[in-house]
Amino acid sequence: MSHPTHFVDPPAASAPPASASVRDGAKATARLSLVIPCWKDEAAALAHLARWREHPWVVDVCIGGLTERTEFAQAVRAGGGRFAGCPRPSRGQQLNAAAAEARGDILLFHHADSILTPEHLAALQQLDTQAPGFRGGAFYRKFDERHPWLRWLEQVERWRSRSHGTLFGDQSVFVRRSVFEELGGFAGIPLMEDVDFSNRLRRSGPVVLLDPPMASSPRKHLQQGAWRTTLRNASLLLLFQLGVDPARLHRWYYAEGPARS
């Protein structure tokens, strides 16, 4: 049985960033680890590392990639990040491997092609006071502004998230480390690991949905068509719920377009 969903208002525009208190010497209530799975979007992952490694609330940036990508691993470590390698593409395994390297009290699982801003981190930092005892949650979703005819889906997505819907990976799921360990991490599957984890997280206690919404790259929609991508994703989700092997779904998913994660 799912537990209630909590909603937290976005930080006021006139308020200073939450990280300012850290710069001023105040003790932070928790530390954040940014955890990024990466298969092909290496440049985007490195850009996140460069942007967030010095943020006063981010204790580390941990990237789960492939063992064979030695040059990428070296670039991550040279840039001050932590790299965890897996022998083959499997987002669930890559997320778990990277999370094992993390030192933060809160784990933020972020896709390389999603756009993380200071406002997202500020909203997370306010959780301890606005939603005491939170276990985990995600951000609402924002659709690409270059496709205004898709914008109506944002309200549908907000309703879906509020109505005990799945917290998908491109919503940047966050969870307390203690809760992540209690739940046993992600299932070690190559696809739909977010669906499985979301179901278990919701059953374990209340989740939090945050603004500002998280924007993701429109690449798949541009390359493959918005409706085709939407219908393909919905079909794969249904097949997963019907018990189709995630490894088979992974092959189908990436056979249709560029291999990214």
Q: In terms of CATH, what superfamily is 5-220?
A: Spore Coat Polysaccharide Biosynthesis Protein SpsA; Chain A (3.90.550.10)
What distance in Å separates the CA atoms of residue 57 and residue 47, rounded to the nearest whole number?
18
Average pLDDT over residues 190-202: 97
Q: What is the DSSP letter of 27?
A: P
Average pLDDT over residues 75-88: 97
pLDDT of residue 23: 38
Beta-carbon neighbour count of residue 17 at 10 Å?
Answer: 17
pLDDT of residue 19: 39
Least confident residue range of 8-17, 79-88, 125-134, 174-183: 8-17
What distance in Å separates the CA atoms of residue 94 and residue 261, rounded to the nearest whole number?
10
Q: Does residue 30 contact residue 56 with C-beta atoms inside 8 Å?
A: no
Tell me the per-residue pLDDT of 6-25, one tens digit each, with 9 for 90 and over. Answer: 555 444 443 334 433 333 33
Least confident residue range of 26-30, 122-126, 165-169, 178-182: 26-30
Q: Which of 104, 120, 110 is nearest to 209 (CA)?
A: 120
Q: Which two tokens stand for residue 111?
A: 């896709």
- What's the one-letter identity of residue 236? L
More confident residue, 224 or 236: 236
Q: Does residue 191 contact residue 236 with C-beta atoms inside 8 Å?
A: yes
Least confident residue range of 6-10, 137-141, 174-178: 6-10
Q: Does residue 175 contact residue 220 with C-beta atoms inside 8 Å?
A: no
pLDDT of residue 259: 40
- Dihedral of the alpha carbons of 107, 123, 2, 111, in degrees to the nearest 10: -50
pLDDT of residue 218: 59
pLDDT at residue 261 tops 60: no
What distance in Å separates the CA atoms of residue 114 and residue 172, rounded to the nearest whole number?
8
Average pLDDT over residues 154-183: 90
Average pLDDT across the chain, whole number: 85
Q: Band of the pLDDT at 3, cuts 50, 70, 90?
A: low
Tell me the per-residue pLDDT of 98-119, one tens digit each, with 9 for 90 and over. Answer: 999 999 999 999 999 999 999 9
SS3 assignment, position 209: strand
More confident residue, 217 or 118: 118
In the chain, where are the structural domains located? 5-220
Measured at the CA of 105, the angle between CA 207 and CA 76, to 5 degrees, comes to 110
pLDDT at residue 143 tops 80: no
Biggest CA-to-CA distance, the chain: 52
